[in-house]
Amino acid sequence: MAELKKRESRRKRTTKETDIDVYLCLDGGDIKVDTGIGFFDHMLSSFAFHGGFGLEISAKGDLDVDFHHTVEDSGIVLGTALREAMGDKAGIRRFADVHIPMDDALSFAAIDVSGRPWLTFEAAFPQAMIGSYDSCLTEEFFRAFAMNAGITMHLRVLYGSNSHHMTESLFKAAARALREAMVISDNVLPSTKGVL
């Protein structure tokens, strides 16, 4: 069997609001995240670790306005990098789902690496703010990520009382489901259409 080519991508995006540089390797590597948003850095680092990804993100954004542009644009660039790193998707498992607990919180993620972007997101965060991070930005990140990666994601917090735990369990659930969906199990493209 031929040696697998490394599944990696480097993407950069610069706008008047943000300047974001992402390196992603689906098969592991170093994790270095600096977005200027402490909690978001923590979530992205956890996402990479539990997804088994090598990830380097450097983001500079208009944090004096708010965190929205930096979080959303990070999702855009990371999603684009994932789509590129996947290549032709031959042999991947394609589907995966997982439940992840964190103390009081339980989250669910289901993934289809389908080429059809979609996000269903269900979470009611009891605390609007996690430090200086607005809880609603989690949905914005995952929407940008799924749309630009070209994957279907269903994310749901089944229950929880602490917004930090709920958010972290969501990131971990999404990461673990992606990790399982991206495993190469054979050399067949997992689609009756012949394309993903």
Condensed to tens digits (0 to 9), the pLDDT of residues 1-35 reads 345 568 999 999 999 999 999 999 999 999 999 99
Q: For residue 33, what is the enclosing H or E element? A: strand 31-34
Written out in words, the top-level CATH class of the domain with range 8-181 is alpha beta
Decide if 41 contacts 78 (C-beta within 8 A).
no
Poorest-confidence range of 54-58, 98-102, 115-119, 189-193?
A: 189-193
Per-chain mean pLDDT for the chain: 94
Decide if 52 contacts 182 (C-beta within 8 A).
no
> What is the pLDDT at residue 5?
64
Q: What is the pTM of this model?
A: 0.94
Condensed to tens digits (0 to 9), the pLDDT of residues 74-89 reads 999 999 999 999 998 9
Residue partners of 192: CB distance under 8 A and separation at least 6: none
Does 94 or 195 have the greater pLDDT score? 94
Decide if 196 contacts 113 (C-beta within 8 A).
yes
Rounded Cα–Cα distance for residues 162 and 147 (Å): 28
> What is the pLDDT at residue 188?
75
